[in-house]
Chains A and B, each alone.
Chain A
Amino acid sequence: MRSMSFENQQRLLIGLRYALLILIAMIFIFPIVFMVVSSLKPDMQLLRDSGSLRAFLPVGDISLDNYADAFERVPMLQFFFNSVFTTVVSVAVALWLNSMAAFSFAFLQWRGKALVLSLIIATFIVPFEVIAIPLLMVVNNLPWLGSEGIEIGWLNSYHVQIIPFIADSLGIFLFYQYFRDLPDELVEAARIDGASIWQIYTRIIMPIAGPILATVAILKFLGMWNAYIWPLMTIRSEELRPIMVGLQYFFQLNTAWGEIMAYLSVVTIPVLLFYLALQRAFIESIATSGIKG
């Protein structure tokens, strides 16, 4: 037997490596492909196709009927709006409050700052699941100025889905880390020029905070869009329900798989498109959040 030349051996290895990479990619991508493809098929065909590889191919009787039916069965547009509204407001306010606090920690001197900062870092190890139940009790006893004067209890509202999340310790910390590494001269030069602190924050620091703004925004966006446990506990009425909790309508509905797949696609495709457009930023921001500890 003639032994392979070194070059051919290398080529074979690289070929094998790609084969393995593609095989693994299929494991990650096929369930998602299956979801989108199935959303286009009638239930009967969907079930029949799941017995073969046709499950992953958009073949047969393809239509958008499932989408129409799903939209008819549940107030999906309302759910979608609720999710978009709570997410957009939370992301916008969180960027503002977190960056403002971090600016203060990084550039201004006040007493107790070090203590407060270490307290914020200490809260990293408290998972949301630990405080969910006591938080439910807290919001149930908070006052709110409603249309009929002061009401007690925040359950069943937009603000209960937004306000607890408009500041978070990870967001503050990520901004703080970024600001701390900026050159001090930036701020000092502006001060000598007579800029006020507010001007330094809005005109000097925020305009160069792009990368970290993206990171915090992406993390907040994913957290809010995918929110489940909290709205599940606090929202009873349909008009206020976010899109993930709206999925509950389909939990017991084992017959309408096509509609379920349509709903899942509607929920997921915006996020995936977002992700495709900003892959690097998504991956980097999530990696940053993992390395915080």
Chain B
Amino acid sequence: MTTAAEARQKAPLWVRWLLPKDAPLYQRNDAVIGWLMAAPALVILTVFLIIPFFMAFFWSFTNQRLISPNPTEWVGLRNFGRLLNVQVFNLEPERDTAGHIVYDDGAIAYPRLRNFTRNNPDYPHLDGLREFTSWQSGENRTVILVGDVVFLRALINTLIFAAVIAPLQGGLALLLALLLNQALPFINVFRSVYFAPVVVSMVVVALLWRFIYDGQNGLLNTILGMLSFGSFQPVDWLGNPYTALPAMIAMSAWQAVGFHMVIWLAGLQTIPASLYEAAGLDGAGAWQKFRYVTWPGLRNTAVLVLIVITIQAMGLFVQVDVMTRGGPLDATQSVVFQAVQRGYDKQDIAEGSAISVLLFIIVFVIAMVQRYITRERE
């Protein structure tokens, strides 16, 4: 008498590969057909998602270009080293032969930075760096030198964008959700209206808001002027380095707040009405009900909403591409915009890949933080 295990041993190789160990042999058709049905989608995902993902890591260690006559070379961590190189340098004042500080028009004179950053054998670690920012400290100037000024600017902008928009958009979405979480007539009409911008393409929204933010004929200036009875001075919102990024944040929140409002609403609906009734019997007011019933019930939703907004914010691209192309004065550069500029416009796949890998590491850390916070609660 043959056992199942023996029958399995005698079966052809493909059966042994595809059939689960504990499945009876007669299910071998299932295994083959199951594999075949999943295969087309799996092939697509492998070629267009998994391979590019791993290749990004590989190319980030090379000097790969989109089209190049030269063979690809392994360059180790050079791409990352350049992108992330930050050095603090103390620039000492120029002194005359007697050792006195030289003044130029009443200001302390300093040697030129390029004396240190261009082929100076005494300062090999500063070679090729550029000034990011500097400030006065005593008689010296402290200079922050970086390998890639624009990328660092982009990274900081993107982090600011994410750090501001997550609480702002998440909080506004919660307020809208609380406002809508009532059985009143027409409440669904309002929900649909608040949600409408979500289905409109960000390209359209960004182009439309360029007109709203316009310095001369912009609607925002008009409305602010009317509300202040003409005392408001018009601002070129996207042309001013101080207002460009905040303007972008406000517009992005306007477009996507409905999305997270719906997620909050789903969370609110999981809180049983009996809890509110009990709190009401205990004499709790509206704020106390929110603080002790609503908010504890929304904890995981809160983490989810904040993380989703943060991860979406890290991908900031369309707004920059349509509205400012990174300007004015790099005030709206973003990580993805830089990845596309280098990987596509300059066809430098290696550097674009290195930026993509850094972006992935940031997103991965954020996602892990979410896992950690929500797991502890369970």
Contact = CB atoms under 8 A, between A and B. Distances in A.
A140 B353 CA distance: 15
Given A169-B49, A291-B266, 8 more contacts: A20-B179, A31-B212, A100-B37, A120-B45, A134-B52, A282-B195, A283-B191, A290-B263
Contact of A97 (B41, B211, B360): B41
Contact of B208 (A35, A103, A244, A290): A35
A29 interface: yes
A216 to B, nearest CB: 12
Give the interface size class of chain A.
35 or more
Interface in B258-284: 258-260, 262-263, 265-266
A233 B199 contact: no
A105 B193 CA distance: 38
Interface string B184-210: 100010111111111111111101110
B260 to A, nearest CB: 7
Contacts of A47: 217
Given A268-B204, A283-B195, A137 B64 contact: yes
A109 B31 contact: yes
B217 A134 contact: no
12 contacts: A21-B180, A101-B41, A108-B33, A123-B50, A126-B53, A130-B360, A132-B340, A134-B55, A137-B59, A233-B344, A282-B199, A283-B192
B156 interface: no
A136 B201 contact: no
Contact of B219 (A55, A228, A271): A55
A197 B33 CA distance: 8
Contacts of A283: 191-192, 195, 262
B190 A21 contact: yes
B31 A271 contact: no
Interface residues on B, range: 35 or more
Given A131-B356, A287-B263, A34 B318 contact: no
A113 interface: yes
A70 interface: no
A17 B38 contact: no
Contacts of B203: 226, 228, 244, 247
In this complex, the member of B45, B311, B315, B344 whose beta carbon has the largest number of chain A beta carbons within 10 angstroms is: B45
B285 interface: no
